[in-house]
Amino acid sequence: MTVDGSAHVAEVEPRLLLLHHLRENLGIGGVHSGCNTTNCGACTILLDGESVKSCTVLAVQADGHEITTVQGITENGLWHPMQQAFHEAHGLQCGYCTPGMILASISLLKEKPDASEEEIREGLEGNLCRCTGYENIVKAVQMAQAHANRQPAPAS
Give the binding site for ligand FES (CB under 6 A): 33-36, 38-43, 53, 55, 92-98, 129-131, 133
CA-based radius of gyration for the chain:
15
CB of 153 to ligand FES, least distance (A): 21
Q: Which amino acid is at 51?
A: S
Nearer to ligand FES, 35 or 146 (CB): 35
> How many whole angstroms separate alpha carbon 137 and alpha carbon 139?
5
CB of 24 to ligand FES, least distance (A): 14
DSSP 21-78: IIIIIS--TTS--S-SSSSS-TTEEEETTEEEETTSSBGGGGTT-EEE-GGG--BTTB
CB of 25 to ligand FES, least distance (A): 17
Nearer to ligand FES, 21 or 53 (CB): 53
Bridge partners for 75 per DSSP: 78
Nearer to ligand FES, 75 or 122 (CB): 122
Of 128, 2, 127, 12, nearest to 68 by C-alpha is 2
CB of 100 to ligand FES, least distance (A): 8
Nearer to ligand FES, 2 or 93 (CB): 93
